[in-house]
Amino acid sequence: MATMALEGIKVLDLTRLLPGAFCSQIMADLGAEVIKIEQPDGGDYNRAFLPLAKTESGSFLLLNRNKKSVALNLKHEEGKEILRRLVRDADVLLEGFRPGVMERLGLSYEKLAEINPKLVYCAISGYGQNGPLRLAPGHDLNYLAMAGALQLFGKAGEDPIVPGLSIADVGGGSLMASTGIMAALIARGKTGRGQFVDISMFDGAVSWLAYHGADYLFGDIEPRGGERPFIGQAACYNVYRCADGKHVALGIIEEHFWHRFCDAVGMPQLKEKQWPTGEEARQQKDELDGLFAQRTRDAWLEFLAPADIPFSAVFDMQEAFSQPHFKARELLQSVEHPVEGTVPQLGFPIKLSATPASIRTPPPLLGEHTAEILGGVGYTRGDLERLEAGGVVKSPERDLQET
């Protein structure tokens, strides 16, 4: 097997739910040893989310492959000591608690850096480690709302809608955290020391405003859904309902594509009016609404294929997942699970020629690797039995070798 990009990197993942799990799965797919630290009573909250496969949550199964699970009670003093021992040879610690929680547990970056100065400690939180909102509760929708991003979703003159993807959680949290961790690891190679990585999902959502923020910062315009060119105002960049109730997406920006489209549908009069505003924009959108309503979705795809323009079907997931391109890009894979059997997996999106990512192991059972991991830092079978009886750890295994 080829060398993996993050082979030899050990990650302790204390997070729950989506942002941290997606971040650590990126690192796991790239070859890092990711040890998922879960509370013994139920583990990661995501294990209980519907729909279930057989016994495990489907979303948990899609977010936790290539990881190991240690069930550890961090409220217990011996649980904290176990974590400190694991930190000794760890490269990364990832946590997603509210600011101050790890300090109260005596497990702050400063304390853990005394044990391992090379540790990269990444904290994902809603609003960051400082500022007036640092302790405010929130989720994806709240961060988008507070960042000024939620108003971009919806139709002109109507209320904002709930986006269908977790933009702040994944784009502002998971991806920013993985980038920050990689940068800190590279920096460590130069300085010999780790550092604290402060990731705010709110900050990340703000950074995604690089395009629409220009309306406000340079044009003194509040961009709202349906009222600006790329968020529903322009007819050339919009979604249309067809005669069969299915939809198509017209994604034209360049003038030459617009001219091709206008010629293809017999509307040359629209060529010089690609970006109208106000009432003229509404009229043009109505005109194209009427046009696309005349044929079925598949008929439009066939009709406009020769024009070679940015035009596509709006697929449901069954259609999307069955595309030949999905297979070509290896975007739908599978892994064998000890309880669930063969479970589907979404493929890794980054293709590396020399150090490719891979799916090597299934998502772990709760505490599946407790004995293995604790044995590696000096705990004996007797220790494990005592700790399990005391509620400090949980393990379905009883094979810890005497040391």
**pLDDT tens across 41-98, in order?**
999 999 999 999 999 999 999 999 999 999 999 999 999 999 999 999 999 999 999 9
Identify the pLDDT of residue 396. 79
Give the pLDDT band of residue 402 (cuts 50, 70, 90).
very low
CA 383 to chain centre: 37
Is 380 in contact with 386 (CB distance < 8 Å)?
no
The pLDDT > 90 percentage for the chain reads: 95
**pLDDT tens across 277-302, in order?**
999 999 999 999 999 999 999 999 99
Say whether pLDDT at 398 is over 60: no
Identify the pLDDT of residue 2. 67
Q: Which domains does the chain have, with CATH numbers?
A: 10-208+325-394 (3.40.50.10540), 229-241+247-313 (3.30.1540.10)
Identify the pLDDT of residue 59. 95
Alpha helices in 192-314 (DSSP H): 201-207, 213-219, 255-264, 278-292, 297-304
Instruction: Write the DSSP assignment of 112-161 as a string of letters.
Output: HHHH-TT-EEEEEESS-SSSTTTT----HHHHHHHTT-GGGSS-TTS---
Say whether pLDDT at 128 is over 90: yes
**pLDDT tens across 233-257, in order?**
999 999 999 999 999 999 999 999 9
Is 390 in contact with 382 (CB distance < 8 Å)?
no
What's this model's pTM, rounded to 2 decimal places? 0.91
